[in-house]
Chain A
Amino acid sequence: GESVGLHLPTLSVQEGDNSIINCAYSNSASDYFIWYKQESGKGPQFIIDIRSNMDKRQGQRVTVLLNKTVKHLSLQIAATQPGDSAVYFCAEEEKTSYDKVIFGPGTSLSVIP
């Protein structure tokens, strides 16, 4: 079966540094790859997506990189702030009889002031 994961379960970074959260996937047929952020006490929130025909996409302070050769996805956060402390999930869209999203186990990011 498919899996999304292979990550460091926790990551600590100094405020102001850049953060890199990594994820591996196994389903080459996925059309979209997605990152979600879950703050304490809240549900996950969509951050950014990247289509499988792209290798890089930038948002506000975030960049997602997709390496299809090694089936690797990463989320880069520039100038990490305390408000970035959260659990980050990578996910992929799997085309079945319905549009299914498979979530990875998540990486907990802690920002040290």
Chain B
Amino acid sequence: DVKVTQSSRYLVKRTGEKVFLECVQDMDHENMFWYRQDPGLGLRLIYFSYDVKMKEKGDIPEGYSVSREKKERFSLILESASTNQTSMYLCASISVGRSYEQYFGPGTRLTVT
């Protein structure tokens, strides 16, 4: 059974803090994604990675960075958290050739105060 896990389900951080969100998949997938989910806006792509140490900006990369040192792990970094980054963050992975069938983690609800 495929599995994508995220390091935290709930996180509360203060404005200006550096925040790390971790995602691990056990399916040996090449491609991994970070989305944020906000009511009425669906899922918006922040960054994705198609290989170790490779990354590409998505639609809303501002204020975020990512790291992929190992194939199974993809980290999202908020360099200096702001209140408008309060959101649900979802990690996903896919195997090559079926980009539309994404496997999602349970999400991290981040609140920035």
Report whether chain A binds chain B.
yes
- Residue interface bits B17-45, CB-to-A below 8 A is 1, else 0: 00000000000000000010000111111
Looking at the complex, which one of B41, B43, B101 makes contact with A49 (CB distance below 8 Å)?
Answer: B101
Give chain A residues whose Cβ lies under 8 Å from the Cβ of B35: 103
Give chain B residues whose Cβ lies under 8 Å from the Cβ of A44: 43, 90, 102, 104
Give chain B residues whose Cβ lies under 8 Å from the Cβ of A49: 100-101
Determine if A43 and B99 form an interchain contact, defined as CB atoms under 8 angstroms apart.
no
Given contacts A42-B106, A46-B102, A93-B100, contact A104 B42 (CB under 8 A): yes
Determine if B56 and A91 form an interchain contact, defined as CB atoms under 8 angstroms apart.
no
Determine if B42 and A103 form an interchain contact, defined as CB atoms under 8 angstroms apart.
yes
Determine if A101 and B90 form an interchain contact, defined as CB atoms under 8 angstroms apart.
no
Interface size on B, residues (CB 8 A): 22
Given contacts A9-B40, A43-B4, contact A99 B90 (CB under 8 A): no
- Residue interface bits A13-54, CB-to-B below 8 A is 1, else 0: 000000000000000000010100000011111100100000
